[in-house]
Chains A and B, each alone.
Chain A
Amino acid sequence: MIFNKLSRRFLVVVTGLVSMFSMSAARAEYELNMTQGVTPISQDIYSLHMLVFWICVVIGVVVFGAMAWSILHHRKSKGAVAANFHESTTIEIVWTVVPLLILIGIAIPATGTLLDLEDAKTNADITLQVTGIQWKWKYTYVDEDVSFISSLAQSSRDVMSDPTGNENYLLEVDEPVVLPINKKIRFLFHSSDVIHAWWVPELAVKQDSVPGFINDSWATIEEPGIYRGQCAELCGKDHGFMPIVVNAVSEAEYEQWLVSKKEEAAAAAASAEQEWSMKDLLARGETVYQANCSACHGPTGAGIPGAFPAMTGSPLVLGDAAGHIDVVVNGKAGTAMAAFKGQLNDVDLAAVVTYERNALGNSVGDMVQPSAIKNAR
């Protein structure tokens, strides 16, 4: 058993090594440097980065050059005799003042860029609210009544033991956020649990989402395209698995997309008025559970001892439905259990509660309808 497992891992490592070298031969260009990005700010930041980099290179050449020279020439084996100078106020002043001037040269453009970067409040065309949730992102188009949650795509989840060849592994979501190009977009960041950070390198936006606070930032995307990013602030177990995908499109496409999102929402609201069958609830519940609950409570409901309670055999789940609904809808204060009323609609909540009660090794037998959730909100 153990030996098998180890030898399999060894094989994985060996094939990994082989594919690594063949891949790097095939790829023309290693990614070495910061992206220039697709916003005016991202380009300013890139130039500033290169400016400071080259300043460092020049200083490095001078300092390491002097060092190398004396290592080569002032060595005892070459008969060098030590001089005895050990003080010079003039020299000390020179190498204090010259770096100071260089720093001023850096600080001036840096100040300009920073002021631009922080200017999120003026003249925004669109406001997008971004909420960090362990471990997914919720997007709310503030003026449009459109809102959805975006989490790691199943295509990435399925291949974690061996992602070779999976394009955009860990950088794909189930639902990308769509934004129009050439509009000033103001982002508002907020968190419903711990601190996260929303980062898309091409947009040069990285901002913490902090519970209880609202931060802002902005971007004007100049090129249509798909831009990928990740959470940048350690936010717990699945911090590495909450990617961001921005789909930047023309304004017309954006408007069209908004219309289709609104139609979807209307259809969902209508289905919440119906009675659902056990079979449909369970099917939908499984999807909802795996996407929203399994990270903590485990894909099979086993939880993580000491950190997250198991669902299988949980007294709360096996108890009466009202208590179960309350915890899922309103969360549990002082713990990592979130209030899901802000994240899921009535149908999803009804389905997932029904699923927890009648799957994962539990069999209470009752059903929870969307109307029950509506009353519990």
Chain B
Amino acid sequence: MYTETTHDAAHGEHHDHGPAKGLMRWVTTTNHKDIGTLYLWLAFIMLLYGGSMAMIIRLELFQPGLQWVEPHFFNQMTTMHGLVMVFGAIMPAFVGLANWLVPIMIGAPDMALPRMNNWSFWILPFAFTMLASTTFMEGGAPAFGWTFYAPLSTTFAPDTTDFFIFAVHLMGISSVMGAINIIATILNMRAPGMTLMKMPLFVWTWLITAYLLIAVMPVLAGAVTMMLTDRHFGTSFFDAAGGGDPVMFQHVFWFFGHPEVYIMILPAFGVISAIIPTFARKPLFGYSSMVYATASIAILSFMVWAHHMFTVGMPVAGELYFMYATILISVPTGVKVFNWVTTMWKGSMTFETPMLWALGFIVMFTIGGFSGLMLGVAPVDTQYHDTYFVVAHFHYVLVTGALYSIIAAFYYWVPKWTGHMYDEKLGKIHFWWSTIAVNVLFFPQHFVGLAGMPRRIPDYSLQFAEFNAISSIGGFAFGLAQVFFLYIVIKTIRGGEKATAQVWEGATGLEFEQLPSPPPYHSFTEAPPVR
């Protein structure tokens, strides 16, 4: 068991050097743990930045009328909020988790390409600084929605759009390098005996996610490049007046965009599949069916993109096909949920903070899945499309789905990372506070959407007033809860009850069985034994 290897590790510590001192440690680091930490902090900062824009949105929507911001600025807020949350918060957080966890889960000493790892992180702060700086330029930040449909983002957009295009290119390069690194690590650096079908599901889901990233980030890069040449070099990819097609932009965007939403949820499935068995004290039900379900979701995710475009005027055969393919995705998604519930069935459950977040994930992600199924029914999407019903749907899957899994992962692994237990009481308060607030925030949005409120509007007619006010109150409370989370994070890093090596009674996996908490700066310099 682990005692033997910690002895080795302690012994080895004399020889290998620890982290460098000072700021340069973080700038020049090639250590997967340091880089994981950097990614997670970037994600947190972006969460607060994107969140503060959400506060402005909810403030303006608190009551009918234009009270706080101009419509043009409001559009900048919705656009930047979406871009920052997707590319700045959720994606980097999962890459941070992958950096921290993949090597210690598969018994590798580090990532396969550590220098590239440093680069893929350090590109990002520059990309986001550039994107954010457009807010202060003449013409303002992007205001055409995070989906940046042409020609609003081409012929009709301000000059600052070029900064946006360059920033998206940088994010894409970073993501692709990160994905290559993860694939190379998983395929080449597993400890002897760690066969593919023994890998923790988090590793599996990230392996599949990395392939999705490599497949679709170049498509996004292509889309913004075509925008750039349309704007400056006389092409007409998306300009009907020059023989182009604005609808083609949407096909290209969503060919990236739909797999992208699965990029943001597959690693979450991996996190939940680690946490539920630990606290149910029972092995994950249907491990191999989970792997197959993840793979089929990934493959299907390439074949459903036009369900975002049911109202653009597709041929009826196209609409039928995309409807069938879309609702088919709920089958493997359902399989995952059924497996988690069956894992809990006849377990011996306890409800520490990570388990609470994971249970919250299952319930609320499933609600988002239900609205997804409803949206997939093409004729009915005529009424749902571009309303707050869609906004409610994707916030249930992304906030109470992806973000909840990230927070769950933090509480679950932070004792391993820092050697300190977080404060259990504060963690539980954080969970209940967030969960009540997030439902006050997003549940009423189903109602206003069904009642006819379009999305992306700075002002609305009076019949939507009550639910919007309620939603805003939930929004402010949820925002505040994440500031409280910041306090918990800092407190945990600074100190706390010492964590054991196994951390949780029911925890399994190399990181809990073979490494102390916190692990040495260089772990698994020799491959651990794999059961």
Contact = CB atoms under 8 A, between A and B. Distances in A.
A84 B426 CA distance: 33
A212 B246 contact: yes
Given A170-B461, A232-B454, A103 B383 contact: no
B459 A63 contact: no
Interface in A1-55: 9, 12-13, 16-17, 20, 23-24, 30-35, 41, 44-45, 48-49, 52-53
A254 interface: no
Interface string B350-374: 1100000001001100110010011
Interface stretch (A74-82, A175-183, A366-374): A74-82
B491 interface: no
Interface string B325-362: 00110110011011001111111111100000001001
A57 to B, nearest CB: 8
A87 B287 CA distance: 8
A215 B313 contact: yes
Contacts of A33: 447, 450-451
B344 to A, nearest CB: 5
Given A76-B350, A96-B331, A199 B454 contact: yes
B370 A170 contact: no
A268 interface: no
Contacts of B282: 82-84, 86
A234 interface: yes
A351 B362 CA distance: 63
A6 B140 CA distance: 24
B346 A70 contact: yes
Contacts of A117: 379, 382
Interface stretch (B49-57, B116-124, B258-266, B464-472): B464-472
B28 to A, nearest CB: 39
B462 A232 contact: no
Contact of A30 (B140, B383, B447, B469): B447
A171 B331 CA distance: 41
Contacts of A84: 282-283
Interface stretch (A141-149, A190-198, A269-277, A279-287): A190-198
Interface in B261-320: 280-289, 311-313, 316, 319-320
A82 B348 contact: yes
A307 B143 CA distance: 11
A74 B316 contact: no
Judged by DSSP, the binding face of A is mixed
B456 A239 contact: yes
B383 A31 contact: no
B341 A305 contact: no
B331 A9 contact: no
B3 interface: no
B140 A67 contact: no
A236 interface: yes
B144 A70 contact: no
A49 B461 contact: no
B454 A211 contact: no
Given A82-B348, A86-B285, A195-B152, A32 B447 contact: yes
B72 interface: yes
A367 B511 CA distance: 82
B185 interface: no
A336 B155 contact: yes
A95 B334 CA distance: 8
Contact of A20 (B143, B457, B466): B466
Given A80-B347, A213-B247, A67 B341 contact: yes
B66 interface: yes
B452 interface: yes
B285 A85 contact: yes
A207 interface: yes
Nearest to A21: B466
Contacts of A231: 454
Nearest to B78: A234
A92 interface: yes
A168 interface: yes
Contacts of B287: 86-87
Contact of B156 (A85, A199, A205, A336): A336
Interface string A198-213: 0101001111101111
Contacts of B313: 189, 207-208, 210, 213, 215-216
Contacts of B319: 114, 118
Contacts of A32: 447, 450-451
Q: Which of B319, B327, B387, B460 has the most CB of A within 10 A?
A: B327
B452 A35 contact: yes
A12 B64 CA distance: 11
Interface in B7-49: none
A373 B352 CA distance: 76
Contacts of A67: 341, 344, 359, 362-363
B436 interface: no
B311 A74 contact: no
A167 B312 CA distance: 32
Contacts of A76: 281, 348-350
Nearest to A212: B240
B431 interface: no
Given A107-B324, A118-B319, A237 B347 contact: no
Nearest to A67: B341
A110 B331 contact: no
A118 to B, nearest CB: 4
Contact of A74 (B155, B349, B452): B349
B328 to A, nearest CB: 7
A111 B71 CA distance: 39
B4 interface: no
Contacts of B63: 12-13, 16, 20
Nearest to A65: B341
Nearest to B448: A31
A307 B347 contact: no
Contacts of B140: 306-307
A291 B315 CA distance: 37
B346 A169 contact: no
A16 B61 CA distance: 12
User: Which 6 A-B residue pairs are closest in the complex by CB-CB distance?
Assistant: A212-B240, A306-B139, A306-B138, A240-B457, A215-B313, A31-B451
16 contacts: A59-B334, A75-B350, A76-B348, A80-B346, A80-B347, A95-B334, A194-B151, A199-B386, A211-B240, A211-B241, A230-B452, A231-B454, A239-B456, A241-B459, A307-B72, A307-B140
Interface of B: 62-68, 71-72, 75, 137-140, 143-145, 149, 151-152, 155-156, 158-160, 240-241, 245-247, 280-289, 311-313, 316, 319-320, 323-324, 327-328, 330-331, 334-335, 337-338, 341-351, 359, 362-363, 366-367, 370, 373-374, 377-380, 382-383, 385-387, 447-448, 450-452, 454, 456-467, 469
Given A34-B450, A56-B370, 19 more contacts: A9-B67, A16-B63, A20-B466, A30-B466, A32-B451, A35-B451, A48-B377, A52-B377, A67-B362, A74-B280, A74-B348, A80-B347, A99-B331, A103-B330, A164-B64, A193-B151, A206-B385, A240-B456, A306-B139
